[in-house]
Amino acid sequence: MRGNFDNTGRLVRFMLRRERVIATIWIIILVLFSVALAPGMEEMFIDQAARDQVIAIYDNPIMVSMMGPVYGNTTGAMYSAMMLLWYMLAVAIMNIFLVVRHTRADEEHGRTEVVRSLPVGKLANINAVMITALIINTILAIATGLGMAVTQVETMGFAGCMLYGITSGATGLVFAAITAVFCQLSQSSGGAVGLSFLTVGGAYMLRAMGDIDKSVEFLSLISPLGLPLRTKIFTADESWLPVLILLLEVVIISALAYKLNSMRDLGQGFIPAKPGKKEAAKSMLSPFGLSFRLLRKMLIIWLITMFCAGASYGTVIGDIGSYVSNMPAYLEMVGLPPEVIEALSDEQMEEIAEEYADMITEYFGVFITGMMTLISLIPVLLVVLRLRSEERDGRVEHVISRAVSRGKYFCGYITIAYVLSVFTQLFTAVGLYAVAATAEKNPFTIDGLIIAYMSYLPAIWVMLGFAVLLIGIFPKATGVLWGYYGFVCFVMFLGSMPDLLPKWLTSLSPMKHIPQIPLEEMNWVPIIILTIIALALTTIGFFGYKQRDMVT
């Protein structure tokens, strides 16, 4: 057994060096997100009435299925209920990509074979990956806990903050171990990622069913996303037992991954790959057809995801006015005018809230439209970045070395990205309306929703054009795109609060120039300008890609 782990330490150092940028960015973004929102939560839930209102919202089974249960009525308990689940999802995604990148992806690219030709143990690589995941998740857990403690929110004590961070890190390790198992089962990195994300979705659904129906609560307890919620962070009943169980699961699942790794041949998986056809379909005889074939599963999954995301908000949109009418900080975040927020704080709360209910719903609808647009941007950018990953992995050369021009190959992916941007917005609008229409009070019309979502297309196209520009001119700097995307998300969340961000800074986000329908009438000037900018960026990137050398 000792020989199986030879030179694990050197591999750990090597992997940490490879992760020094990516992991650091993940940790900084996650920690800043947690730390930045904590003071805002304290202001939002400053009085008991606001906290009681949130608890009333969570009496809705649909909200419990989306967010999880609330275990207390303090600001800290509200923060944990609203943030922990989504924070764990982000940490899980980080760990999935981390493990696949250093296991199955390295095998596909031939790097593992080179390493194994040296005096390295058979299990050294997977052992180094899990140790690397342990180090990164430990740093994330400590940084998250200390960062939240620094905010000094009254009901968020030091022990609770550390429990929040450690719970997130332990959950991340569980998904790292699960991904390590799938990397042994699948023959491709894409398959391992797909199975891992399917597990995340399954864990989320198990948690939702267990949280809604107490008779089957065991479903939530066996879910790696449901069990951590039972830590009951920032309450009098805080428990470290779920963390210990999660760590035990990490050991057991990791042991399974080690065993499978010792049994299989390098480059192979236990799930056999589906044999291909002897001859390619006619649809694959063009660059566009090939691109679509490579991307079709991802496109279908994301379209279904956007439809479901829109539908999830359609379940509560009709009653949102009564839910948040006495939450000034939340109303400010969604962009409600200060005079309306001030009026809602009057003694005649119930009468005024009813008077402004439709206005609150409209502003909330506009806010959700922006949030859904940010989510729909992800698959669009992933399609464009597939150009870069295919080039980096050396597959583009095999295509363009034949009777295929760079321009046609390039346009295949870009065309799919532009078309996908339209369909993701359309599916989100239809999903939202399909569920909202079944409610007793539906504030929307299908044509109004479609217009509102489609009005954001020029902003999406600017982001798409920026991605194309980076690929065409600065292919090694495509990571900047996600930094800019994070900035756009930050502006969308907090840009409506004028005291937090200066106007010149928020104007750098293309989303801030889109007319807020139905609050504003359609203004075609920014729409046209953003479209021209997007086309210009795409054109520059197109000609840059045609003229530059391939960069692997």
Whole-prediction pTM value? 0.77
The listed range with the strongest mean pLDDT (35-44, 295-304, 467-476, 490-499) is 467-476
* Token duo for residue 490: 């930050």
Instruction: Characterize 508-546 residue by residue with b for buried, 16 or more Cβ atoms within 10 angstroms of its Cβ, and e for exposed.
Output: ebbbbbbbbbbeeeeeeebbeebbebbeebbeebbebbe
Q: Are 241 and 170 in contact (CB under 8 A)?
A: no
Q: Which of 443, 459, 450, 444 is nearest to 428 (CA)?
A: 450
Confidence label for 349 from pLDDT (cuts 50, 70 and 90): very low
Residue bearing the bigger pLDDT, 497 or 203? 203
Looking at residue 526, its pLDDT comes to 85
Q: Are 216 and 209 in contact (CB under 8 A)?
A: yes
* Token duo for residue 506: 């928020």
Among 56-65, 144-153, 179-188, 450-459, the minimum mean pLDDT is found in 56-65
Confidence label for 74 from pLDDT (cuts 50, 70 and 90): confident
Looking at residue 327, its pLDDT comes to 57
Residue bearing the bigger pLDDT, 307 or 400? 307
Contacts of residue 238, Cβ cutoff 8 Å, sequence gap at least 6: 159, 160, 163, 231, 232
Q: Is pLDDT of 283 > 60?
A: yes
Q: Are 97 and 133 in contact (CB under 8 A)?
A: no
Please state, in angstroms and rounded to a whole number, the distance separating the CA atoms of residues 32 and 476. 26
Looking at residue 115, its pLDDT comes to 84
| Summary mean pLDDT of the chain | 81
Q: Are 462 and 537 in contact (CB under 8 A)?
A: yes
Nearest-10 crossing angle of helices 287-314, 357-392: 150
Q: Which of 120, 449, 200, 111 is nearest to 311 (CA)?
A: 449
Task: Return the percent helix, strand and coil in the chain, to nearest 5.
Answer: 75, 0, 25
For 379, phi then psi, to 5°, come to -65, -35
User: CA–CA distance from 37 to each of 33, 148, 262, 479, 510 (Å)?
Assistant: 6, 9, 45, 25, 23
Q: Are 86 and 29 in contact (CB under 8 A)?
A: no
User: CA–CA distance from 528 to each of 320, 458, 524 (Å)?
Assistant: 33, 8, 6
Which pLDDT tens digit goes with each residue over 446-505?
888 888 888 889 999 999 999 999 988 888 888 788 888 878 877 776 655 555 566 777
Instruction: Characterize 134-167 residue by residue with b for buried, 16 or more Cβ atoms within 10 angstroms of its Cβ, and e for exposed.
Output: bebbbebbebbbebbbebebebbbeebbbbbbbb
Q: Tell me, what amino acid is at 349?
A: M
Which pLDDT tens digit goes with each residue over 358-393?
666 666 777 778 888 888 888 898 888 888 888 877
- Identify the helix (H) or strand (E) that includes residue 381: helix 357-392
Looking at residue 318, its pLDDT comes to 57
Q: What percent of the chain lies above the pLDDT cut of 90?
A: 22
Among 70-79, 123-132, 413-422, 448-457, the minimum mean pLDDT is found in 70-79
Please state, in angstroms and rounded to a whole number, the distance separating the CA atoms of residues 150 and 146. 6
Confidence label for 157 from pLDDT (cuts 50, 70 and 90): confident
Which pLDDT tens digit goes with each residue over 321-345?
555 555 555 565 555 555 555 555 5
Q: Are 137 and 191 in contact (CB under 8 A)?
A: no
* Token duo for residue 233: 């962070």
Among 43-52, 162-171, 327-336, 341-350, the minimum mean pLDDT is found in 341-350
Please state, in angstroms and rounded to a whole number, the distance separating the CA atoms of residues 211 and 64. 7
Contacts of residue 464, Cβ cutoff 8 Å, sequence gap at least 6: 380, 381, 384, 414, 417, 418, 421, 534, 538
Confidence label for 300 from pLDDT (cuts 50, 70 and 90): confident
Averaged pLDDT for residues 233-259:
92
Half-sphere exposure of 525 (CA within 13 A, CB side): 1
DSSP letters spanning 382-401: HHHHHHHHHHHTT-HHHHHT
Looking at residue 100, its pLDDT comes to 92
Please state, in angstroms and rounded to a whole number, the distance separating the CA atoms of residues 257 and 550. 37
Looking at residue 169, its pLDDT comes to 94
Please state, in angstroms and rounded to a whole number, the distance separating the CA atoms of residues 22 and 423. 31
Q: What percent of the chain lies above the pLDDT cut of 70?
A: 81
Please state, in angstroms and rounded to a whole number, the distance separating the CA atoms of residues 406 and 418. 18
